[in-house]
A and B are shown apart, each in its own frame.
Chain A
Amino acid sequence: MSVKGGYAGQVLEIDLTERAVNRKKLSPELINGYMGGRGFTSRLQYDLIPPKADPLSPENVLIIATGPLTGTMAPASSRFVVGAKSPLTGILGDANCGGHWGPELKHAGYDLLIIRGRAPRSVYLWIDDDRVEIRDASHLWGKTTGETEKLIRQDVGDDSIRVASIGPAGENLVRFAGIVADYDHLAARTGMGTVMGSKNLKAIAVRGTRGIEVADLSGFKEAVEQIWELLTSDEQTARVLPQYGTTSLVDLHNSLGGMSTRNWQTGYFDQVSKINSDALRDNYLLNTVGCFCCPCRCDRYCVVDKGEFKGTRVGGPEYYTLVAMGSKCGNDNLASILKANELCNNYGLDVGTTGGVIAFAMECFEKGLLTIRDTGGLDLSWGNYHAILQLIEMIAYRQGFGNTLALGFGEAVKEIGPESGNYAIQIKGMDPPTFDPRALKVYNFRYAVASRGADHLRISAHGAYELEVSEPAQATQKLKFWQDIVCIPDIAGVCKFPYTFYSQSADVTMKKALQLVPLLIESAAGVKMDSGMIMDIAKRVALTERAFNNRLGLTAEQDYLPERFLKDELPSGRAKGQKYDVFDTMKAGYYAACGWDQETGVPKRETMEQAGLHDIAEDLEKHDIIIK
């Protein structure tokens, strides 16, 4: 089928080694098979990145994709996805980002950027509609992300352009560096900023003046109106998201006994009232901020105007930050958490993994595996926020003990010693976010099998909370169903918070994902789309990601939960006494629901064929991966 709108229709390919810029037509096969966004980054990672490529070598390919709804005025149509082989995990990497940069790229005329090679010296890209320049970035190297954005706007002489950049962490190849767009929006996870740093690419600046057409103007306006009306009348998206952003999850997770506290030693933080959404609103909230065309406005903007951290200004925090730099590190000083957030944004660090490795180091310190001699004088006692802040800087610049943590859990355990492995709470090299699997066992099984390491966003649907009351066998079927639903915003180019996570009920979520998103795509792109077609694409994306990881040697053994969750009972909170005792049942049920072989963890032949992935099945066999 040929598209008539929604998509810009063009791919921009840049080879930094050759200083070459090429434009190609977006292929109909890619559109039909994978729709956009994460669908594009996943398939192109499979096709373009050689399995043996070192993630930090010029062979790795950085893929940046929008979806058919990105920048279209569909509500929350801000999203773009960055994909590459991850330098943190060594498997599939991707990170999803809001703000305004993705829409600007689309308005400049591009759905996709494919960036290869490595520039001999630091450069930035200037994409001004049809004009694309690879510019010298020597004056930007070493600058923070905020400084970089300001300087590029000055270079170009236009303060309405959009910039996505890396900070010192990405330049220094810290393995969990993110890409920062519009000052405070991060493509945070799996080290996509590190890949940019390895390519000597400091930033991508864009000005798009071409705009986007839609195929059926009146149909599109009607669809937008319908979903706008729904989002601005549903309690969750009309009140909870604008009023609290994601920070209301802090109290929710703590009340369920699952808020990661002191490196997952417990799921209940007794000082929660000092770092929750009320404390934030009462003391530091300046404004609520909305990404492109989003009525839900869940971003916070906070200012600290008194005390030790006076002068801190930050777009954030998310609930994740409040946990990662707060309870997970035993820290109840909210102003210091905002400062930590500001530092991570400026240095271009994923605040999640940064908090994860610091909490790990703090537990090693508690257990005597690290002393102040090892840490260069830092007292890593729980809650020592001065040490947390100093360590963030030391990680970004890879100084002293910061360098031990900057390479991720695996290298840190090698350095500190094998016993420290017990406290490295990670799966496939990435830390789980905030919510203890012992407190919500069905839902949080997701960490064990997510395609980019211990991730929560592959299955983050409101309806999935209700699965706790189901029998495991039924629950896993439904978990897989929600996984496919949650993929829909990722491939369409909209945000999963208003579309799949925040809803009054599971029925409302399904209406948005399965009826309204297809309606928006049909009217924007002028193609046939329905609930069955969009679910088929979502399933194909998940299988392609699994196959990418299988081709790299990933097997069923790498789908695990850390020992702490399996063996230690939660010592306090509502889930006190619980440990993760349903792992084998969940794993067997989930594999069956996905059509993966129980022994190898590779999708079965019939599963691949049903999804139309004969080519990938054949390719896996060529790489000696057994498909049953």
Chain B
Amino acid sequence: MNLRVNTAMCSGCRACESACSLKRFGQINPRKASLRVRESEDSGMYLVKICTRCGKCAEACPTGAITKSSNGAYEIDADLCNCCKLCVQSCPEGVVFVHRDLDTPAICNLCGECVKYCSAQALYIKDRNE
């Protein structure tokens, strides 16, 4: 699965953040979302940060806890993770995050729930073969 975003179409409603946290953690909490919407410097427009599967988090992980799964998402093995947060710091998009409720950092698992609730159609899935 290939999650993409056209930020110029974002209207800043942040339903994607809530949908993400509700699906993943059973709670509405934009600060537990694996993508983030921010106002851009030019007010009236938005920046949408998503996981680009660049793999920097896996490279930074000193314990080898982060690996790529079959759908292309990176996942964290909680048994190997020592919560050093190097993955959080290494993420160029700022979407690998920690939260006090969670034992390990969290990374987008490419479930696609955010796309379902993006009524502005800024988020979309691109077939990898396209």
Contacts and interface: CB of A to CB of B under 8 A. Distances in A.
B80 interface: no
Contact of B13 (A214, A232, A291, A315): A291
B91 to A, nearest CB: 16
Contacts of B31: 107, 208-209, 211
A100 interface: yes
Interface stretch (A282-290, A355-363, A554-562): A282-290
A286 B40 CA distance: 13
B29 A212 contact: yes
B22 A297 contact: no
Nearest to A231: B119
A211 B28 contact: yes
Given A73-B22, A221-B22, A212 B28 contact: yes
Contacts of A73: 15, 18-19, 22, 28
Contacts of B68: none
A526 interface: no
Given A159-B38, A160-B38, A297-B120, A209 B14 contact: no
Interface residues of B, number: 27
A72 B13 contact: no
- Chain B contact residues, majority secondary structure: loop
Contacts of A289: 11-12, 44
B99 A209 contact: yes
Interface residues of A, number: 39
A501 interface: no
- Chain A contact residues, majority secondary structure: loop
Nearest to B14: A292
A296 B15 CA distance: 12
Contacts of A213: 26-27
Contacts of B34: none
A301 B40 CA distance: 13
Contacts, number: 88
A71 B34 CA distance: 18
B55 interface: no
Nearest to B43: A313
B117 interface: yes
B104 interface: no
A210 interface: yes
B27 A211 contact: yes
Interface string A279-320: 000000011111111111101011100000000010100000
B19 to A, nearest CB: 7
A217 B26 contact: yes
Nearest to A238: B119
A293 B22 CA distance: 13
Interface in B22-75: 22, 26-32, 36, 38-39, 43-45
A221 B31 CA distance: 19
Interface in B76-130: 99-100, 117, 119-120
A175 to B, nearest CB: 29
A210 B29 contact: yes
B13 A295 contact: yes
Contacts of B120: 288, 290, 297
Interface in A126-174: 159-160
A583 interface: no
A228 interface: yes
Interface of B: 11-15, 18-19, 21-22, 26-32, 36, 38-39, 43-45, 99-100, 117, 119-120
Given A290-B13, A292-B14, A293-B117, 16 more contacts: A75-B15, A107-B31, A160-B38, A208-B31, A211-B21, A212-B27, A213-B26, A287-B44, A288-B120, A290-B11, A290-B12, A293-B13, A296-B119, A297-B11, A301-B45, A315-B44
Interface of A: 71-73, 75, 100, 107, 159-160, 183, 208-214, 217, 221, 228, 232, 242, 286-297, 299, 301-303, 313, 315
16 contacts: A160-B38, A208-B31, A209-B29, A213-B26, A214-B27, A214-B28, A288-B11, A289-B11, A290-B12, A290-B13, A292-B14, A293-B13, A295-B117, A297-B11, A301-B44, A302-B44
